[in-house]
Chain A
Amino acid sequence: MANNTMSFEVFRYRPEQEDEPTFQQYDVPYNSDWVVLDALNHIKDEIDGTLSFRWSCRMGVCGSCGMMVNGVPKLTCAAFLKDYYPNTIRVEPLAGFPVERDLVIVMDDFINKLKAIKPWIIRNQGEERAIEEGEYRQSPAELAQFKQYSMCINCMLCYAACPVYAKEQDFLGPAAIALAQRYNMDSRDQGRDQRQELVAAEKGVWECTFVGECSVVCPKHVDPAGAIQRGKAASTVDWYKELLLPRRGGTK
């Protein structure tokens, strides 16, 4: 019985036994409805149990299984074998991040940046709503202002696609800025000034050179590139406001 197979070249790094990574080749049965994640799980279950990688929902909502597939950041649960067959598929850890083991990257920097932009509703002193006052009211139009930026699943594909982040790890990055925009544009939030110190900084929006690949690879159509450019426009307006109307306040 002739069974079709596909060749996989998988990045391996086992810190306890090597200083440099290597590539290991596996032959995986080809199924037209399989995704790269299915192939990796087949490798782990049937061929080589030592292969390490992250995954969870296998349906494109958790953001765990991001990896480089033939040099392009993808959710491996959304990369269909039939789109690559019969060519070899090369699987590597997400670019721009240090490799902990095999296909697992160190994501501390990403998490710290998400936390740094204060991803929660901030109210001015004395303007917090008491429980008895009921919920904040928001119209569909107000929701539409920021809803797109709230769809981020923190998969880090945008950071892997960004050539600036690859070279400059201090860059705040697409997802963090998109998340900051999500709150800045939320009508319930009053904390834009608090976020601007990071967002409008040199390592914030201004490090971006609008390559735009972050938005191209985003599986949730968040459009972080758009969020960053709008941040640049807002930051510029702030600067002029401060220059021309210093007593009216604005950002620090």
Chain B
Amino acid sequence: MKPYHRPVPKMWWLKRLPYFLFVIRELTAAFVAFYCVLLLVLVYKLGQGREAYEAMLVFLKTPGMISLNVVAGLFVTYHSVTWFNLTPKVMVVQIGEERVPGYLIAGSNYIAWLVVSGVLAWIIVAKNVCPAI
């Protein structure tokens, strides 16, 4: 027997849309890492004192950084949405013979996201209105 081994094309992920979307989803991890680093830098600057922190904020308001944040924000949102939508595959809840429908499992993630965001928004708004909080 002389079996033939077909080579895998380098651009295999460009051949079909599902593969392309998968690779984009994986690349969003780089943007998540970017946010983590940004947060660490912010905390570090905060530790260095008011001047350093405010200089950092000025830098973040430059057009370049705003654009980068917007792009990163889009990718990170895609990251979260694709993750939430896949949770029903990992967490299968069976009650008797029936399974809890996927949209309830995924939905509970979105609700938790809203709740946490709501609490954070409340803290930020309340802090701006009354800095003593």
Binding site for B on A (CB under 8 A): 13, 15, 20-21, 71-72, 95, 98-100, 106, 140-141, 144-145, 163, 166-167, 209-213, 216, 223, 225-226, 229-230, 232-233
Contacts and interface: CB of A to CB of B under 8 A. Distances in A.
Interface stretch (B3-11, B33-41, B60-68, B113-121): B3-11
15 contacts: A15-B1, A72-B16, A98-B3, A99-B4, A99-B5, A106-B1, A144-B97, A144-B98, A163-B12, A163-B13, A163-B22, A166-B12, A210-B89, A212-B18, A212-B86
A99 B94 contact: no
B24 to A, nearest CB: 12
Given A213-B19, A230-B92, A98 B4 contact: yes
A163 B95 CA distance: 34
Nearest to B87: A229
Contacts of A144: 94, 96-99
Nearest to A213: B18
Nearest to B96: A141
B97 A140 contact: yes
A59 B6 CA distance: 29
Interface of B: 1-6, 8, 12-13, 15-16, 18-19, 22, 26, 86, 89-92, 94, 96-99
A210 B96 CA distance: 28
A211 B22 contact: yes
Contacts of B19: 163, 211, 213
Contacts of A95: 6
Contacts of B15: 71
A100 B1 contact: yes
Contacts of B92: 226, 230
Nearest to B15: A71
A235 to B, nearest CB: 12
A100 B3 contact: yes
